[in-house]
Chain A
Amino acid sequence: MASPVAPRTEGVRRRAVALAAGFAVPLAISLALGFPRAGGRPAAYVATLAASWLGVGLAATWAGVSRGRSMLGRRAAWRLLVAALTPAALFATALAAALAWPSTRDDEAGALAHVVCVAVGMICALGPLAAFAAVRRSSDPVAPRLTGAALGAASGAWGALFIELHCVHTSVGHIVLGHVLPVVLLTLVGVLIGDRVVAIRPVRAAS
């Protein structure tokens, strides 16, 4: 006897809705802040950095969130690399862009700008993080904390991308403190989420 809607079809639909809802959060915030702007930054610098960080976000999502062809997910080493290398990759590309456009290094940002970017970046990342957590809920019986860390890093990369589109500051110090630091914080938040959401927990059948 077949179910009216195949569980897998229903699962795909649920996951698609979760991802769409999750990414609607940063998009809505982005639109509320106005369309992406270069400010005083070179347009090519903004485009290069945005494209690089989009690539980092996609790669982190592919390697850290999707499970590949195994029900137990990709190898632990991949998830560890995602958690460790995502902030490093964001920093490296920002550094390379600063070297390519020396004028961007003259910018100075105050502590308030750092705090605002950390806050907005983390808020932008919360939607993707919630979506990734929903997608990977109760799915990892082996290393849920590591998976959670990878989810946090991947969502942090998306948050960093959205904030990068709006923030006019270009100094490397600000990029590290305002844009990359939230990725590290979200990776730590991901560890907690992994333990509580991604892990397998005993269930009791309804009597």
Chain B
Amino acid sequence: MHVAAQAPGFYVLRAPPVPSPVVVPVRHGTSVGVPPRAEADVAMERYARGDDASFGMVYDALAPRLYGYLLRQTRQRARADDLLQQTMLHIHRARSTFIPGADVAPWAFAIARRLLVDSLRRGSREVLSDDGEVDAGPDRGPMADEVAQARELAIRVERVLAKLPQSQRTAFELIKNEGLSVAEAAEVLGTTVAAVKLRAHRAYEALRGALGDVLDGMEGRKS
């Protein structure tokens, strides 16, 4: 858990490690026929019932995904840190309203997105005290060729995504990068499942059009 200091009822949060580009939510279930629930949901439910220690699990399950999302959107560590802290503070404050059986991830992403939008609207008036560097992604060690290729591809993907309308980019990123289901992404964006599918599909088609040579090359290597 990335809690640097703790006072009664108050956490000072530090940025978690940058997640891998694609995060698949961990789900587990024990009974046949009972839908499995994400760890974060179970932990949040315990936190709402008064088990303060469960906040660590909530944080560990959500923060890397939220931080990755916020960092990709803002490209500024200081702002992503601030927005992550605000998001977790909102979750903490609203724990008394948590609905048993509800999914915590779409809620957390929706809060983060709202705070991000507000922050971007205020952006021109704010002066960040920290660096404004663009994150280059995690250092995964000395597999030089693969890392270089992956980074080059990531940069090209970023460029293509940056040219897309915000709605398509966000839908694509929530599904492909953050691991949300289409239904969860629709909840976060306040729209229908069909609309999210369409937006993500258009984004995917744009990527396919721009990166067709790379994809063809990858398929060629596989066969």
Distance of B109 from chain A, by nearest CB (Å): 9
| B188 contacts partner chain A, Cβ-Cβ < 8 Å | yes
Partner of A203, one of B49, B89, B107: B89
Partner of A1, one of B52, B97, B98: B52
Number of A interface residues at 8 Å Cβ cutoff, please give it: 31
Contact residues, B122-172 vs A (CB, 8 A): none
Query: Within 8 Å CB of A71, what residues of B?
Result: 97-99, 102-104, 106-107
Partner of A6, one of B48, B90, B106, B107: B48
Take A2-B52, A203-B90 as given contacts and tell me if A7 and B95 are in contact as well, using a CB distance cutoff of 8 Å: yes
Query: Within 8 Å CB of A171, what residues of B?
Result: none
A-contact bits for B83-95, CB 8 A (1 contact / 0 none): 0011001100111
- How far, in whole Å, are A24 and B189 apart by their CA atoms in the complex? 37
**B89 x A205 contact (CB < 8 A):** yes
Query: Within 8 Å CB of B119, what residues of A?
Result: 202
| B23 contacts partner chain A, Cβ-Cβ < 8 Å | no
**B94 x A139 contact (CB < 8 A):** yes
Contact residues, A1-29 vs B (CB, 8 A): 1-3, 5-12, 14
**A138 x B94 contact (CB < 8 A):** yes
Distance of A183 from chain B, by nearest CB (Å): 24
- How far, in whole Å, are A192 and B133 apart by their CA atoms in the complex? 38
- How far, in whole Å, are A200 and B48 apart by their CA atoms in the complex? 19
**A202 x B95 contact (CB < 8 A):** no
Number of A-B residue pairs, CB cutoff 8 Å, is 96
**A142 x B115 contact (CB < 8 A):** no
| A206 contacts partner chain B, Cβ-Cβ < 8 Å | yes
Number of B interface residues at 8 Å Cβ cutoff, please give it: 38
Query: Within 8 Å CB of A200, what residues of B?
Result: 90, 111, 114-115
**A8 x B103 contact (CB < 8 A):** no
**B50 x A72 contact (CB < 8 A):** no
- How far, in whole Å, are A201 and B121 apart by their CA atoms in the complex? 13
Query: Within 8 Å CB of B12, what residues of A?
Result: 205
Take A7-B50, A206-B10 as given contacts and tell me if A70 and B86 are in contact as well, using a CB distance cutoff of 8 Å: no
Query: Within 8 Å CB of A139, what residues of B?
Result: 94, 97
Query: Within 8 Å CB of B107, what residues of A?
Result: 70-72, 141
- How far, in whole Å, are A142 and B51 apart by their CA atoms in the complex? 28
**B95 x A142 contact (CB < 8 A):** no
- How far, in whole Å, are A142 and B119 apart by their CA atoms in the complex? 15
Query: Within 8 Å CB of B96, what residues of A?
Result: 7-8, 10-12, 14
Partner of A202, one of B86, B98, B101, B102: B86
| B219 contacts partner chain A, Cβ-Cβ < 8 Å | no
- How far, in whole Å, are A202 and B49 apart by their CA atoms in the complex? 25
**B93 x A202 contact (CB < 8 A):** no
Take A2-B50, A3-B50 as given contacts and tell me if A205 and B113 are in contact as well, using a CB distance cutoff of 8 Å: no
| B218 contacts partner chain A, Cβ-Cβ < 8 Å | no
Distance of A67 from chain B, by nearest CB (Å): 6
Distance of A194 from chain B, by nearest CB (Å): 13
- How far, in whole Å, are A138 and B89 apart by their CA atoms in the complex? 12
28 example contacts (A-B, Cβ-Cβ < 8 A) are as follows A2-B51, A2-B52, A3-B50, A5-B50, A6-B49, A7-B47, A8-B49, A8-B95, A9-B50, A11-B97, A67-B99, A68-B99, A69-B101, A70-B106, A71-B99, A71-B102, A71-B103, A71-B104, A138-B93, A141-B114, A142-B110, A142-B189, A202-B115, A203-B86, A203-B90, A205-B12, A205-B85, A206-B10
**A residues adjacent to B (C-beta < 8 A):** 1-3, 5-12, 14, 67-72, 76, 138-139, 141-143, 199-203, 205-206
**B residues adjacent to A (C-beta < 8 A):** 10, 12, 47-53, 85-86, 89-90, 93-99, 101-104, 106-107, 110-111, 113-115, 118-119, 187-191
